[in-house]
Structure 1
């Protein structure tokens, strides 16, 4: 949608009348809206308040400086500088155009300040503007027109603003009303979904934390020349140890049977056996505990050859906990 930007043109008044006219024409030629106070140059505090309201409505601020400091307020600061400081305060993109230095004295026409102390203030103000990011220097009106057109074109691209559009090209009130109605309906559905999910979630209290101890019974085989015997053992460990051993493998989904195999590998490794069996019941218990701790989630998926299978994977919270307990810290 085509936008027009409103650009505030600021400068001292008497010495830059023609330059301000040139600047307005450049803005209009670029298809945008010049704003300035040519008819009402700031000369008192009330006028400055009004100018600030105009600046508030603008998208860019252009300041043109030559050899005059301009009328000053009770604090000795020029109204032009006050305008600049306000644009800086509200965060407008500022484009400064400074006339190149020329030999000047108190007798020099355009460059003659009305009071001697304004010479130093003008120098300080020019130096402040010269340190700006978007600053250009000009020697004559032709030079100013060129620099202004080029700088504004770059600013429109690099510092895009809200701008203005014609009312008949903006979204109609009916369209906005329908969008708002749809947005509200979506918000209500999301709230209802969250409520239903909370109702379906199991309410578990007093669940053993990750650092709690657990005794896992297991069986293992002892082999003799004449045969083998099945022995029983108990592994004393913690849920944290199980989580750290098994769950790095759940960064990607694994089949529930693969999860059970990982649990048996943990017991075998921790007990120092060749092979251990913990049984279906304990595989299920370990799965349920990790799900209850919100570290793992279970879901069903259709297999390639048909049928449905259960898979386990880490939750986002589980991934975060895994990083915290396994990462090597300095």
Structure 2
């Protein structure tokens, strides 16, 4: 069952309007549900109560920081953005931080010198998060959002939402229908010629490469198919699982497994994957550690970037 995740986007507003739009589009491109304070009215609740209710229902939390600290809550003395960040952490919601690079060009009119000390302290706090990326352009911010959120979802999946056809709530169906409409609108607005060019270059090496078995070159496998099988089985892709992904119907022999093994070695050589030996931690099996050991293949940063770009192309 495919899941959609609700992603809360937090930042100051006036100075980052263009950047928030890019973040919203990036989240929608991944097929998930972005929410933020500009997307709804406070209603009868106070602003902070409304913010908390939306953070509570979110699966992931993104914060984007530039050179403004933002509106300060008189009660706590903290900006609403920092309060949101702290509250998400208290609720155990995974937090991903995206901070402007100190050398990035930025309009002087959008620099808040008065609250610089508080802003620097907040940036330092965000810098200690498990996921932190630095950006200097809107495009680079959107790229980091897509890659980091995809990786976080892969290693730390949350409750999420199911499709409207599989959910009992009519409210969920209405919300998903609205988001699908917005997604199509944003996709029509995004120029993807440069992205397509980059994908083509990165894919060319592996999509046109076939790896054969050692014995008489009896069996050959496509390197691109092996890469996609490894990617789909993250975080831990075993050789048996990879073989099943590539060929679920045909019979296999030693030549088939040998060709898979050779392809996996080639992916490591290209810097797209790395291998790691796992062993059983079950009580009483320590003396059989070597027998119960097995290898898994993991995507490198380079491999993760390629997989994210390929997924982008499939969303068009």
Q: Could you tell me the TM-score, scaled by structure 2's length?
A: 0.49
Q: Could you say which structure has the greater relative contact order, defined with CA pairs below 8 angstroms and 6 or more residues apart?
A: 2
* Greater strand fraction, Structure 1 or Structure 2: 1
Q: Could you tell me the TM-score, scaled by structure 1's length?
A: 0.47
Rg larger in structure:
1
